[in-house]
Chains A and B, each alone.
Chain A
Amino acid sequence: MKKSALAAFVVLAAAAIPTVAQQMKAENQVKYRRAAYQLMNLNFSNLEAMAENKKPFNKDEAARNAEFVTLLSTVPKGFFGEGTDKDTRAKPEIWKNRPDFDARMDKMTNEAAKLPAVVKTGDMTAFKKQVHDLGEACKACHDEYRAKQQ
């Protein structure tokens, strides 16, 4: 019961983000999307470590990481308003090729969404593949729309 209430809240919160973000000043959009990316990085690095046998696979821990990644992956898209490239490594091409940027972002979100279910099966081959696919989806955007240096 408690869990489903939390899930409902999370869905509502995620849905509310884009509307909130549109009214937010650029500096704060950058602040929140960075926060989301940094926490994704933290959780995803732990999954990667398990996928590469650098640490033992722990299903509960991995499930938690996967849920965080899935949820957080939906955050950044709404925080890339016009003018939010200032003092960041976001390339201006994002706003020139918005449909392509959004498609790459959605691809990442979709790959992230598959993670929790894969973790639950405990199938290491599928787990490794999904971690790899998500990593690729992250990279696809970084390669194109993220400058190497600020």
Chain B
Amino acid sequence: MKPATLTIRVWDLPTRIFHWLVAVLVVFSFATGKIGGSWLEWHMRSGYAILTLVLFRLAWGIVGSETSRFARFVRGPAAFFRYAGDIVGKRHRAVIGHNPMGGWMVLFMLVLLLTQASSGLFADDEIATQGPLAVKVSNALVAKMTAFHYYNGWTLIGAVFLHVIAIAAYWMAWRDNRVAPMWTGRREMDGAGTQPELRATWIAAVILASSAGFVYWLVVVYPRG
């Protein structure tokens, strides 16, 4: 007899909003960055929003819901290689939250987003647009940050492609829909599964507001001083 399916609330609302906002903003940032000209103003605003969201997500990775916490999903090499072995051996393992490989990818993408948004603050296109902190550091550093911002941007796009390919592969290989849970927050599990502890949304709102306040200070108040 087929075991009864169990509906589990995998992703909390803040993590889902974070995910989809970042997805949209990354595409927008990439496009406006490549078009350039006056669109760079929007590129910068988008970057500030991404920085705000990533700072929020890093904090949420410490005090947030169980499935969003780094301590839960960033796993050691043993778990990583066991899971990788399962993938190579075409064995499907349903995991609540990030799997041991995906967890590293999440961390990697967060680092890429953080370094990309931060380096942009110091960048200068040497036409008419400068990041808000470019005036605060040496021109040698500005040149380094501008070049880094360019190359790191392509690394980020590469990581996004890899991420999307992985999601598509789960669907094609096992009909495992990873998009729906990130949208609805819920996932059906066959048999056993423990409901992860989800934190209240208002805590996330407070963290997000603090994060936004800090970024506002960093890009508007501090450069004036």
Residues of A within 8 A of B (CB): 37, 41, 44-45, 47-48, 51-52, 128, 131-133, 135-136, 138-139, 142, 148-149
* A-B residue pairs in contact (CB < 8 Å), sample of 19: A45-B129, A45-B130, A47-B128, A48-B128, A48-B129, A52-B38, A131-B38, A131-B128, A132-B38, A133-B37, A135-B38, A136-B36, A138-B128, A142-B125, A142-B126, A148-B147, A148-B150, A148-B151, A149-B143
A136 touches B37 (CB 8 A): yes
Which residue in chain B gives the minimum CB-CB distance to A43?
A: B128
Min CB gap B119→A, angstroms:
13
A128 touches B128 (CB 8 A): no
The answer to the question of B188 belonging to the interface, with a C-beta cut-off of 8 Å to chain A, is: no
Which residue in chain B gives the minimum CB-CB distance to A49?
A: B128
Chain B interface residue count, Cβ-Cβ cutoff 8 angstroms? 17
Q: Which of B35, B38, B127, B130 contacts A142 (CB 8 A)?
A: B127
Min CB gap A52→B, angstroms:
5
A45 touches B128 (CB 8 A): yes
Min CB gap B12→A, angstroms:
37
- Across-interface contacts of B146 in A (CB, < 8 A): 148
- Given A148-B150, A148-B151, check contact A44 B127 (CB 8 Å): yes
B128 touches A135 (CB 8 A): yes
B37 touches A139 (CB 8 A): yes
Q: Is the interface of A mostly helix, strand, loop or mixed?
A: helix
- Across-interface contacts of A52 in B (CB, < 8 A): 38, 41
- Across-interface contacts of A132 in B (CB, < 8 A): 37-38
Q: Roughly how many angstroms separate A133 CA and B39 CA in the complex, as a whole number?
A: 11
- Across-interface contacts of A133 in B (CB, < 8 A): 37
Can you name 15 extra interface pairs (CB under 8 A) apart from A48-B129, A135-B36, A148-B151? A44-B128, A45-B128, A47-B128, A48-B38, A48-B128, A51-B38, A52-B41, A128-B38, A131-B128, A135-B38, A135-B128, A135-B129, A136-B37, A138-B127, A142-B126
Interface residues of B in 126-160 (CB under 8 A from A): 126-130, 143, 146-147, 150-151
- Across-interface contacts of A138 in B (CB, < 8 A): 127-128
Q: Roughly how many angstroms separate A25 CA and B146 CA in the complex, as a whole number?
A: 30
**Which 7 A/B pairs are nearest by Cβ-Cβ distance?**
A48-B128, A135-B37, A132-B38, A132-B37, A139-B36, A138-B127, A136-B37
- Across-interface contacts of A37 in B (CB, < 8 A): 126
Min CB gap B152→A, angstroms:
11
- B5-38 Cβ-contact flags toward A at 8 Å (1 or 0): 0000000000000000000000000000001111
Which residue in chain B gives the minimum CB-CB distance to A136?
A: B37
- Given A52-B38, A52-B41, A128-B38, check contact A135 B151 (CB 8 Å): no
Q: Roughly how many angstroms separate A62 CA and B146 CA in the complex, as a whole number?
A: 28
Min CB gap B133→A, angstroms:
15
- Across-interface contacts of B127 in A (CB, < 8 A): 41, 44, 135, 138-139, 142
- Across-interface contacts of B38 in A (CB, < 8 A): 48, 51-52, 128, 131-132, 135
- Across-interface contacts of B150 in A (CB, < 8 A): 148
